Amino acid sequence: MKKPDIINQHTGGSWAYSSMVKSHFFNPRNLLWKIPNERESKKFDAEGLVGSPACGDVMRVWLNIDPKTERIKEFKWRTFGCASAIAATSMLSVMATEKGGMKIERALEIKPQDIMKRLGGLPDRKVHCSVLGDKALRAAINDWFKKHEKFDRILVEGSRLIDPNTKVTEADIEEAVLEGATTLAAVQKRTKVGVGYKECLPQVEELIRFYREKYFGPDGTAGTAARTKHGKRGNRNFKQSAAVHPNARRRRTTHGR
């Protein structure tokens, strides 16, 4: 068993980080050490800002994109977050800019497990931290679309109302799964969804399956690095998710709608 890096003194829980996670935490790539002022901000084409209520993390991303090739040439970022959030965004910035820069459409397809694979895994309780960077990246790309009047390409991150009684949204279900509630009972305990409105439960179960596969992989272990000396769990932890959202397509909006 790998020696833990962190031990919770209250619960006794522990987890370990891969050498790649430590490398990107102690030596973050493409980090901006201070927020650019108004003059400095003008050298960037786009900016995205997101926050995660789950752990108080806030992520800010700045991009430079070649308008002819639509390749990401520069990816700078800052965060108020934990080691996993820092390492995940540092790795994402490398992925987006290496080999001449990733095209926008390809960058929009990056999933949290893609980042975790490059990092050698993250502790299960830290999987949600890998989501911040790619959400901020999408926000920045949307900002670029707006500035270049490509309104038909703007992505809408929906928060459909799932339970009108408890006001639980799709985003609430996603957040619950990211925090480890991967069964209907666990999600209900956390969100109270379906209490008094059982008609929504089949839809809730669909969303749980979708987000569980999206963030944890087909076998539910994408966030966990191999724990044995002989790697018995192997690379199956990082299989590409084939999850398809219940809506079956990415929601988009067009100018004037």
Per-residue pLDDT band at 15 (split at 50, 70, 90): low
Per annotation, catalytic residue among 129, 136, 140, 193: 129
Per-residue pLDDT band at 196 (split at 50, 70, 90): confident
Per-residue pLDDT band at 91 (split at 50, 70, 90): very high
Please indicate whether residue 200 is annotated as part of the active site: no
Q: What separation, in Å, do the N-terminal and C-terminal C-alpha atoms of the chain show?
A: 55
Per-residue pLDDT band at 185 (split at 50, 70, 90): very high
Using alpha carbons, list the distances in angstroms from residue 249 to 244, 246, 252.
8, 8, 9
Structure tokens at 201: 């439960």
Per-residue pLDDT, averaged over 225-233, amounts to 32
pTM: 0.63
Can you give the residue ranges of every domain in the chain? 18-157, 158-242
- Report the alpha-carbon distance of residue 102 to residue 69 in Å, rounded: 10
Per annotation, catalytic residue among 55, 94, 108, 155: 55
Structure tokens at 160: 């459909």
pLDDT in tens, 110-131: 988 899 899 998 877 677 777 7
Please indicate whether residue 82 is annotated as part of the active site: no
Q: Is 46 exposed, middle or buried (0-12, 13-18, 19+ CB in 10 A)?
A: buried
Please provide the DSSP assignment of 72-107 as one string.
Answer: EEEEEEEEE--HHHHHHHHHHHHHHHSTT--BHHHH
Per-residue pLDDT band at 220 (split at 50, 70, 90): low
CATH number of 18-157: 3.90.1010.10
pLDDT in tens, 23-48: 999 999 999 988 888 888 889 999 99
Per-residue pLDDT, averaged over 166-192, amounts to 87
